[in-house]
Structure 1
Amino acid sequence: MGCLAIGIQCLIGAVFLASSAGKVTGRRAFDRFVSSVAGMQVVPFRSARSVARTVVAAEGAVCVCLAVPVPAATVVGLAIAAGLLAVFTAGIALSVRRGVRTPCRCFGASQAPLGPRHIVRNLVLTAAAVTGAAAVSAGGTATPGGVAVAVLGGLLLGALVAALDDILDLFRPVETGTRPYGT
């Protein structure tokens, strides 16, 4: 497997690991995710809990497939990831189009309402997963140094994607109702 495939495998693996872990770190975290699924108004309210369980299980399956050091398992994991991301993107787009502002619980704790940035993020990740599956299928060789850079780069990008809402919130203008210190 070449360095591009390894880097994307680590990127997608880190994103899905952070996503699934953030949703199951406690009963309250999972319940908040269920509320977010229901709040998207894409599935019937009574189905939200089972849909949430299915999402968490599928995200876990992606992590397991990407952790298995067999190219075929990596391709399966990346294909599942691409399919999930496409479904997530469609659901978010439908919610945003309807004006739904439910919090994105993609990684568990975020309070950021669903919006275009989540759609763009998922489209980029979908493209990365498809590219990674193609790169794994194409084969290739990698040097130890290249593998190290690919792994570290993929994990770093995955962590940045998982923290994207929090990072973007740092640059959000302060609301007019608040006063800076000392005034």
Structure 2
Amino acid sequence: MAYLSFAARCLILAIFAASAASKLRGPAAFAEFRRSAAALGGPVPLPTAALAPIVVTAEVAVVLLLAVPATVGFGFALAIALLAAFSIAIVAAVRAGTRAPCRCFGASTTPLGAPHVVRNAALLTAAALGLVATIRPHAGLHPAGAALSLVAAAAVAVPAIRFDDFAALFTGTTPRSPSQYRKGT
């Protein structure tokens, strides 16, 4: 259970760190995320000006809580709550016919859809398994086992972060290049 907890911790920490960093890399990136969040609306009746900073603050909180061994359980719990809220917002947006792009990990033109809910469900499962695994006390990690857990987490984190690009491979769509994101073309 210790290795499962550590792998889940590394995975969820990497996901939320990449997500927060993509939104905080500059004023333009944050403005794009704010516009995307406003377009989604969502089930929570918050002013759109408040929604984006709350989301980014919560994502940073997940990273910090997971980084400190004494607060890992709280980090997993917050990650579960956020992933559930994100999934609900995506489902509500899709049902309402909103075609807003997924700005989960920065610039993207891929509209939110069922694949994003599946990705979030998988991440939610990983966070829940991590939380359950932290409940039971365990001994320290062997360095080789910790390294293997870290590699496994990275092997899942990279495709999750680059999800829209991987989805494009199977749907036949062409994602925009990073230079096109910056130029706004």
1:27 aligns with 2:13: no
Q: 1:134 aligns with which of 107, 132, 135?
A: 132
> 2:162 — aligned with what?
163
Q: Under a length normalisation based on structure 2, what TM-score does the superposition of the two structures give?
A: 0.87
Does structure 2 retain, via aligned residues, the 8 Å contact 1:104–1:110? Answer: yes
**Could you report, residue by residue, the CA deviation over 1:1-48 in whole angstroms, capped at 9, with x for unpaired residues?**
710000000000000001000011111111110111111132699822
SS at match of 2:69: coil
Partners of 2:43 and 2:92 within 8 A in 1: no
User: Which residue is 1:181 aligned to?
Assistant: none
CA RMSD of aligned residues (A): 1.9
Question: Conserved in 1, the CA contact under 8 Å of 2:83 and 2:124?
Answer: yes
Residues in 2 aligned to 1:56 and 1:174: alpha-carbon distance in whole angstroms: 29
| Aligned partner of 2:73 among 69, 72, 75 | 75
How far the C-alpha of 1:158 sits from its partner, in A, is 1.3
Letter in 1 for 2:78: I
1: CA distance, partners of 2:44 / 2:80: 24
Measure how far apart 1:68 and its partner are: 1.0
Residues 97/78 of structure 1: CA separation in 2 closer, same or farther (3 Å cut): same
User: What is the distance in 1 between the residues matched to 2:12 and 2:75?
Assistant: 9
Is 2:39–2:100's contact at 8 Å kept on the other side of the alignment?
A: yes
Structure 1 unmatched runs, 5+: 176-183
The equivalent residue for 2:55 is 55
Check conservation: 1:110, 1:166, Cα contact below 8 A: no
- TM-score, normalised to structure 1, is 0.88
| CA offset digits 1:146-172 (Å, max 9, x no partner) | 111001211231122111111222343
Q: SS of 1:170's equivalent?
A: helix
Q: Which runs of 5+ in 2 are unaligned?
A: 175-185
- Paired residue secondary structure (1:159): helix
Shift in alpha-carbon separation, 1:174–1:56, aligned structure 2, 3 A: closer
Matched with 1:178 is none
- Partner in structure 2 of residue 92 of structure 1: 90
Aligned residue pairs: how many? 173
**Which is higher, the Rg of structure 1 or of structure 2?**
1
- Counterpart code for 1:27: P
Q: Deviations over 1:92-125 (max 9, x none)?
A: 1000011111000011112110000111111111
Deviations 1:41-65 (A, max 9, x none): 3269982221100000000000001
